[in-house]
Amino acid sequence: VYTSGTTGRPKGAARSQRGDLALAQNQAEVMDVRINGRVLVMMPMFHAGGISMMLSEFWHAGCVVLHRKFDAREVL
């Protein structure tokens, strides 16, 4: 993935599938994700948070709802 990190300059950051899966499993436990659940993902897919929210739901055979563009009124 590409990130601007703390410098503001784009750079590549290597991520592993194993690391993404571990992040998703941990997030599922913390957020109490349940089998066949549903999650609204509002974070971009290039962000670790967005990817882990999506993967944690898929890990539990759930449904992921994506918004094309963030709209606070729609989300609430």
Please write the tens of the pLDDT for every residue from 2-60: 777 777 788 888 889 898 888 888 888 888 888 888 888 888 777 777 888 888 888 88
Q: Is the pTM of this model over 0.75?
A: no
Backbone CA torsion sign across 76, 29, 59, 34: negative
Count of structural domains, the chain: 1
Task: List the domain range (segments joined by +) for residue 46.
Answer: 2-75
> What is the rounded distance in angstroms from the CA atom of residue 41 to the CA atom of residue 54?
7
What φ, ψ does residue 36 adopt, rounded to 5°? 60, 35
The CATH number assigned to the domain holding 45 equals: 3.40.50.980
CB atoms within 10 A of CB 64: 15
In whole angstroms, what is the distance from residue 19 CA to residue 62 CA? 20
Residues 6+ apart with CB under 8 A from 45: 51, 54
